[in-house]
């Protein structure tokens, strides 16, 4: 019996939604353990498209338990809106198939506003945030002043906590020349939405322990990618949470020994949204071609993604920092029409060849890629379901990646459809 963690091995947008949905057919429980509603998952099931932001991918499948863990920051209004949207698609969501951690931190309007104020300020570094309040909410969590789901059960307790958090935020707003936020308005809004949120509230650590005792298969679903990890990513151009696989334990309270297999979702090329270093970025017609063929626009923001060749150095690095056992290679079909395909195998930094991405942001911007070139296969891989049926050049490309990053390619995605997946190693039954 295996419990599997799925993480993105690049900067996010690797196609986790499809792979998680594909794996959730075998899982009993699907859990989100970090991030917020800034990271979207697009699922295509029987020709029908679902776009999820906070809800775990298992929610669109019958007889699955979906869990939002304590490591997630939750915008209660965004969550209820998403639940209503998905219900309109004919999906049943209730207190028996969706659990929300009572310890999860809430994203408030003050967080969203602060995100935008900072991003628009000429005095601050442009991070490329999605302006959904994720970072400020995590700041308040670390500062021990956040409002959590469980705080909504007591109006008196909520009032005291709002006083604390607004003392902090209003001092910032005054300093930035912004009108102070009304405590009464925020309190009324939270009291109004509280019943809609609290009905899903549970002690998640306890529930997961019960599922473990019953030998249920648990799938832990990460958001964003490891290169956006606040400790291990391209800091400061990162998200505000830990996106590595070990966060599945801290973000749910299940214990690290619950994790049996770590699957890294890995795009066959590289993309990034927002600001920050990107060594293999292509600002030419090849980059445009990758973007058009890969339909590289954000699920949540519709922002155009930056595109580049596969960066083997970075993926090898994320495999080590997250303990990845195997990778699911996605969007292989996007490369079908390229005459030549490159893979970054090292960097040049000030005339020196290096085999890792430095921690220094200044150096990250300076590194230039050293490539190994491959001839393209110039034939369609779309919908192929057997590795042996792939063009020989595509097989060679995949084998090289597998050897270089030092992790087995356990699955290959050849289209957005869940059925178009080549399974080499089942993470639940290794």
DSSP state of 378: -
Tokens 């954000």 correspond to 298
CA dist 394 and 377 (Å) reads 6
41 flagged as catalytic: yes
**Pairing relationship of beta strands 352-354 and 340-349 according to DSSP bridges:** antiparallel
Q: Where does residue 89 fall: left (phi above 0), alpha (psi -120 to 50 degrees), or beta otherwise?
A: alpha
CA dist 30 and 24 (Å) reads 7
**Pairing relationship of beta strands 270-272 and 98-101 according to DSSP bridges:** unpaired
Contact 413, 15 (CB under 8 A): yes
3-class DSSP state of 361: helix
DSSP state of 333: G
Distance of CA 2 to the CA centre of its chain: 22
Q: Of all helices (H) and strands (E), which one includes residue 290?
A: helix 285-293
Tokens 């393209």 correspond to 376
Tokens 């506003």 correspond to 113
Query: CB under 8 Å to 186, separation ≥6 — which residues?
Result: 108, 109, 110, 162, 166
Contact 86, 93 (CB under 8 A): yes
Q: Where does residue 422 fall: left (phi above 0), alpha (psi -120 to 50 degrees), or beta otherwise?
A: beta
Summary count for the chain: helices (H), strands (E): 12, 20
Contact 301, 115 (CB under 8 A): no
426 flagged as catalytic: no
Distances (CA, A) of 172 to 53, 113, 114, 257: 29, 12, 9, 42
Tokens 């997961």 correspond to 208
CA dist 370 and 354 (Å) reads 10
Contact 60, 92 (CB under 8 A): no
* Residues recorded for the chain: 430
Nearest to 227 by CA among 155, 173, 308: 308
Of 21, 37, 41, 311, the catalytic one is 41
The residues annotated with a catalytic role in the active site are 13, 41
């Amino acid at each position: 019996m295996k419990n599997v963690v799925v993480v993105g091995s690049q900067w996010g947008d690797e196609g986790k939604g499809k792979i998680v949905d594909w794996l959730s057919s075998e899982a009993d429980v699907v859990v989100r353990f970090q991030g917020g509603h800034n990271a979207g998952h697009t699922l295509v099931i029987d020709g029908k498209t679902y776009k999820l932001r906070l809800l775990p991918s298992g929610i669109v499948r019958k007889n699955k338990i979906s869990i939002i863990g304590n490591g997630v920051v939750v915008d209660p209004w965004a969550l209820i809106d998403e639940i209503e949207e998905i219900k309109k698609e004919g999906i049943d969501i209730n207190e028996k198939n969706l659990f929300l951690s009572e310890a999860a931190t809430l994203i408030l309007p003050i967080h969203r506003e602060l995100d935008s104020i900072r991003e628009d300020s000429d005095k601050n570094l442009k991070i490329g945030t999605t302006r959904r309040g994720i970072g400020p909410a995590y700041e308040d969590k670390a500062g021990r002043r956040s409002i959590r789901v469980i705080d909504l059960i007591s109006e008196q307790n909520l009032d005291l906590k709002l006083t604390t958090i607004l003392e902090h935020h209003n001092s910032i707003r005054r300093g930035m020349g912004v009108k102070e936020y009304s405590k009464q308005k925020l309190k009324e809004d939270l009291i109004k939405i509280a019943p809609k949120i609290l009905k899903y509230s549970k002690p998640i650590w306890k529930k997961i322990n019960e599922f473990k005792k019953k030998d249920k298969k648990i799938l832990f679903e990460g958001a964003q990618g490891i290169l956006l990890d606040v400790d291990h990513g391209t800091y400061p151009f990162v998200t505000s949470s830990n996106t590595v696989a070990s966060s599945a334990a801290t973000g749910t309270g299940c214990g690290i020994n619950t994790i049996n297999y770590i699957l890294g979702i890995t795009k066959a090329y590289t993309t990034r949204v927002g600001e920050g270093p990107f060594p293999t970025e292509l600002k030419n017609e090849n980059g445009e071609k990758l973007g058009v063929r890969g339909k590289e626009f954000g699920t949540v923001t519709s922002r155009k993604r930056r595109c580049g060749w596969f960066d083997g150095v970075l993926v090898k690095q994320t495999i080590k920092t997250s303990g990845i056992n195997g990778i699911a290679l996605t969007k292989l079909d996007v490369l079908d029409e390229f005459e030549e395909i490159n893979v970054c195998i090292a960097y040049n930094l000030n005339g020196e060849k290096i085999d890792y991405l430095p921690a220094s942001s200044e150096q990250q911007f300076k590194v230039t890629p050293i490539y190994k070139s491959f001839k393209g296969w110039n034939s369609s891989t779309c919908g192929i379901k057997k590795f042996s049926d792939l063009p020989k050049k595509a097989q060679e490309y995949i084998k090289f990646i597998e050897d270089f990053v030092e992790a087995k390619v356990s699955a290959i995605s050849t289209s957005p459809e869940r059925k178009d997946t080549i399974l080499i190693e089942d993470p639940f039954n290794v």
